[in-house]
Structure 1
């Protein structure tokens, strides 16, 4: 989500962003400011900035910085959610820059306006791209619940690429109520290839079949990605209300205990300080969870020593930050309750997962002095899983 990186452009004013985004990159001391400007204008709400973004989405792709700026501007238009951007976005579908096409498809989906038959035909034509583009287009038809794409999408449910066939099966489940194809996605949740696991999580969320919730909860994939899909299933209208029959599973997902995930043996490292530290920094979340599990399995003295050591070196890394916060929370390590408080107070968007782990830690360690912040987050948090967590914790802390 682009919002995660708003902190990177906090020092860039709207006026400055509008002045550089369309400028010739050769005239700028820092051409990268052009695409940073696109991110900044995505967070604006003025009509003038929207007009500039629309122009930026039409930049020539000949110059590298203009090409990247165009991609970022198209992405930002999705965030602005204005139907005025749709003509530009549909024109972008016919360009030769695959990244720009995918961003345009995503932006059209986020805007969520009803599409004309001509618009739908333009989207169907975009299925002719490479597999990653095919996937994005199928997801758009699924999320916009457009049933007239069935003829084009149904054959893709048998595609060799799981990224394509998974999206097609999600479309058939959500739009045409054919859920049997989702059976093939459940084993994919523990696939050795991380990208296939992640895509299965996304597809099961898009499919809208809440009977698949338990499989999602135990998948060794980033908690934030699983939470997004799970809340699509149990709270599709974004009310921050989870029906009672799903509350236990959602709690299990958000508490995110690696002992309850379906981890392959090769993902779990030896109970060794160096191995654990390496796993926590691995790109594959399954190996990160394997490292966290091994950390939890250490004797308490060794565990505390390693937590302190890793904290000194890697606390600023938001991935490691999360796993340290999570282990302290799950095991009730009162010796480092200070880290729970620090994590709960962290406002940079990349650390939002850590705030969820910290909220559960407040409950486990009975940190009642954190109730004012928990109460604030239970009302104002932008991310539903964090808001819901804080509400559950407050109920049990009172």
Structure 2
């Protein structure tokens, strides 16, 4: 592991600014202006904001400096630095489309409402070679009504991530949501980026009718959980939804069985088990889910050993494949995997976080009551999906009384699950 820049994350504000102000050609090997530009998000002060502005005004054409400028623009957006709007505005005219993209995004984060700047952003839709999705998103976020006609030019764009953004943006800006089913249809697009992108568009539009379809979309459950969680919080708050309406979709995603998904891929011929195992490493989770279904339906006898072999060889260190292996061992009720599942449940490495909830579900599937104490311990973590999955597993193991541990959990979805399932827990919440 490259540890050269570890010390930079412990710099004081003054030390970080000193590094950022150093000319790029004088930077020492163990320093990084990019890293400190990101680090300054932790210091919401005039000094940090002014240093980031100076970094943007440094127009050294080297690639390293261009990357530092982009990160500085991003950090100013994250800091909601109103005083940085004029200098960020100048970046809208640059030739580098990535700098333009991050400048537009940053102005959106800051909440810029200057009509002249909003019109400059809208005019970028007439300029070839731009990254239009972010521009469209930002104009809709900032409610710039005058951009509607320009955005309409993108509703049939060949890049469906852009088309989805355009359709949803017009619905938001016009208040007419009749075309949103066209966005929902992208949940079944063969391109994974189109599927992921339209989920974000459905979130931005607070389009509650799509919740069930989002739950069945073959992308990583991280995208689906975030969408359902966000829509649930918004919908319950404004009275449009109840927990009981959200719960089936939420728990379907946490279970994440391939039979509950609307798969978009298929094999043109029966695949070998070796091929299917390799598909668990694919970056398109739609292919991973097809592989999972094939292992369950066609190779259920041979799958456990094949999964354990690939786990030992690679999957233990590949967070995507790791997730699928853990979940499959549960669906296959492979009792010999108990220790491996407990290890996954208790693995605190950030990149393996979604495997912890998967391990909880898997432990519920294999039905070994030895897992109850470990699942109860998971109810005391701050990770909401792990806690919820652990409640589902405890329910599967017939240990509903454990729900009382989470009766006063700070997370409203956890409390709702507890209250619905355990009358005693409900009494604890509302004595």
User: Which TM-score band applies after superposition, normalised by the shorter structure?
Assistant: 0.7 to 0.9
Q: In the alignment, which residue of structure 2 is the partner of 1:194?
A: 192
Q: In the alignment, which residue of structure 1 is the partner of 2:296?
A: 296
Displacement of 1:248: 0.5
Q: Given the superposition, is the C-alpha separation of residues 289 and 59 from structure 1 closer, same or farther in structure 2, using an over 3 Å criterion? A: farther
Alignment of 1:194-273 (within 5 A): 194-236=192-234, 243-266=243-266, 270=270, 272-273=272-273
Q: In the alignment, which residue of structure 2 is the partner of 1:312?
A: 312
Deviations 1:127-147 (A, max 9, x none): 234466221111112334444
Structure 1 gap ranges (5+) = 1-6
8 Å contact kept, 1:173–1:208 = no
Q: How many residues align?
A: 386
Q: Given the superposition, is the C-alpha separation of residues 385 and 310 from structure 1 closer, same or farther in structure 2, using an over 3 Å criterion? A: same
8 Å contact kept, 2:361–2:392 = no
Q: Given the superposition, is the C-alpha separation of residues 301 and 155 from structure 1 closer, same or farther in structure 2, using an over 3 Å criterion? A: closer
8 Å contact kept, 1:269–1:279 = no
> Which is further off, 23-32 or 320-329?
23-32
Q: Given the superposition, is the C-alpha separation of residues 391 and 38 from structure 1 closer, same or farther in structure 2, using an over 3 Å criterion? A: farther
Q: Given the superposition, is the C-alpha separation of residues 319 and 267 from structure 1 closer, same or farther in structure 2, using an over 3 Å criterion? A: farther
Q: In the alignment, which residue of structure 2 is the partner of 1:14?
A: 11
Q: In the alignment, which residue of structure 2 is the partner of 1:178?
A: 176
Q: In the alignment, which residue of structure 2 is the partner of 1:376?
A: 380
Q: Given the superposition, is the C-alpha separation of residues 157 and 321 from structure 1 closer, same or farther in structure 2, using an over 3 Å criterion? A: same
Q: Distance in 2 between matches of 1:44 and 1:148?
A: 36
Q: Distance in 2 between matches of 1:223 and 1:292?
A: 14
Q: Given the superposition, is the C-alpha separation of residues 8 and 243 from structure 1 closer, same or farther in structure 2, using an over 3 Å criterion? A: farther
Describe the SS at the equivalent of 1:281: coil
Structure with larger RCO (C-alpha < 8 A, sep 6+): 1
8 Å contact kept, 2:190–2:265 = no
* TM value normalised by structure 2: 0.77
> Which is further off, 30-39 or 65-74?
30-39
Q: In the alignment, which residue of structure 1 is the partner of 2:76?
A: 77
Q: In the alignment, which residue of structure 2 is the partner of 1:285?
A: 285
Q: Given the superposition, is the C-alpha separation of residues 31 and 64 from structure 1 closer, same or farther in structure 2, using an over 3 Å criterion? A: farther
Q: Distance in 2 between matches of 1:336 and 1:19?
A: 52
Matched, 1:321 2:322: yes
Deviations 1:345-388 (A, max 9, x none): 333433332233234335444522224542333xx33xx65565
Q: Distance in 1 between matches of 2:377 and 2:89?
A: 44
Describe the SS at the equivalent of 1:336: helix
8 Å contact kept, 1:61–1:70 = no
Deviations 1:290-341 (A, max 9, x none): 2222233355552221221111122111111121122234444332233333
Displacement of 1:99: 1.0
Displacement of 1:65: 0.5
* TM value normalised by structure 1: 0.83
